[in-house]
């Protein structure tokens, strides 16, 4: 319900801007990150709703983890049910875009049978702060900063598989529902985080998603 009440933003806990039924992602989608390894079909994987984290939520560093990386990304938000959508029609199914951080525990990624722990643990999908409509998602600057230092910076124009192709390809196999999100891949190099590191992902026209790496707290 709309009211006339105004509350300063710094007095609020800002949640992730959407509650998706599915959190999907594409790996190896910038040559600066993957070389030629991403050429071919988009490499899909999934996270789970428990992975979702909002702005300023912690990025958990689990006790068994020693190699948890940030991955700043442009994220697509689906606007209406999409099933077997043609690439040319994909823009009609995209509500908007936001910023995301595809947290990945590299050791688990290499040693586990599947990427469930490595990609889908609690708080491993920070998202936000806003969903923005009307942007040219084919050419948006994606940047990551660690403690104020820029570590990733590249335009979505460099995606191996474009946003429209990702939506078309994914919808061929998985029916997408309104509010579902797709992380589109990370550029350049990623890095391991230490407790206290502040990770900022900025997508041009969207704003800054800020989270801090913290030791896992089983009581939160």
Q: Give me the number of domains the chain comprises.
A: 1
Give the pLDDT of residue 169. 98
Distance of CA 54 to the CA centre of its chain: 11
In a domain, 61, yes or no: yes
Kindly report, residue by residue over 198-212, the tens digit of the pLDDT.
999 999 999 999 999
In a domain, 11, yes or no: no
Distance of CA 1 to the CA centre of its chain: 29
Segment 21-31 shows an average pLDDT of 96
In a domain, 66, yes or no: yes
Kindly report, residue by residue over 119-169, the tens digit of the pLDDT.
999 999 999 999 999 999 999 999 999 999 999 999 999 999 999 999 999
In a domain, 4, yes or no: no
Kindly report, residue by residue over 85-122, the tens digit of the pLDDT.
999 999 999 999 999 999 999 999 999 999 999 999 99
Kindly report, residue by residue over 33-46, the tens digit of the pLDDT.
766 555 689 999 99
Going by DSSP bridges, is the β-strand pair 58-61/104-105 parallel, antiparallel, or unpaired?
Answer: unpaired
> Can you give the CATH number for the domain in which 61 is found?
3.90.850.10
pTM: 0.95
Give the pLDDT of residue 33. 73
Backbone φ/ψ region at 49: left (φ over 0), alpha (ψ -120 to 50), beta: alpha
Give the pLDDT of residue 93. 98
Q: How many CB atoms sit inside 10 A of residue 46's CB?
A: 16
Segment 43-72 shows an average pLDDT of 97
Question: Comparing C-alpha atoms, which of 210, 20, 180, 212 is closest to residue 99?
Answer: 210
Of residues 3 and 194, more confidence is placed in: 194
Please give the residue range of the domain that contains residue 29: 17-215
In a domain, 1, yes or no: no
Query: For residue 78, is the peptide bond before it cis, meaning its omega torsion is within 30 degrees of 0?
Result: no
In a domain, 3, yes or no: no
Give the pLDDT of residue 1. 73
In a domain, 107, yes or no: yes
Give the pLDDT of residue 37. 58
In a domain, 12, yes or no: no
């Amino acid at each position: 319900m709309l009211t006339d009440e105004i509350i300063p933003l710094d007095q609020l806990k800002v949640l992730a801007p959407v509650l998706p039924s599915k959190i999907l992602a594409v790996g190896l989608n910038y040559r600066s990150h993957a070389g030629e390894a991403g050429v071919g079909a988009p490499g899909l994987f999934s996270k789970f709703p428990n992975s979702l984290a909002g702005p300023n939520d912690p990025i958990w560093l689990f006790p068994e983890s020693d190699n948890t990386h940030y991955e700043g990304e442009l994220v697509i938000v689906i606007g209406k049910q999409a099933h077997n959508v043609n690439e040319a029609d994909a823009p009609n199914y995209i509500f908007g875009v936001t910023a995301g951080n595809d947290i990945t525990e590299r050791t688990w990624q290499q040693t586990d049978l599947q990427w469930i722990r490595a990609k889908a643990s609690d708080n491993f999908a920070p998202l936000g702060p806003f969903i923005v409509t009307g942007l040219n998602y084919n050419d948006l600057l994606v940047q990551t900063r660690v403690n104020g230092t820029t570590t990733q910076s590249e335009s979505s124009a460099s995606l191996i598989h474009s946003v429209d192709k990702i939506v078309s390809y994914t919808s061929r196999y998985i029916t997408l529902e309104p509010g579902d999100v797709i992380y589109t891949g990370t550029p350049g190099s990623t890095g391991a985080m230490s407790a206290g590191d502040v990770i900022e992902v900025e997508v041009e026209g969207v704003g800054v998603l800020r989270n801090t790496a913290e030791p896992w707290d089983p009581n939160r």
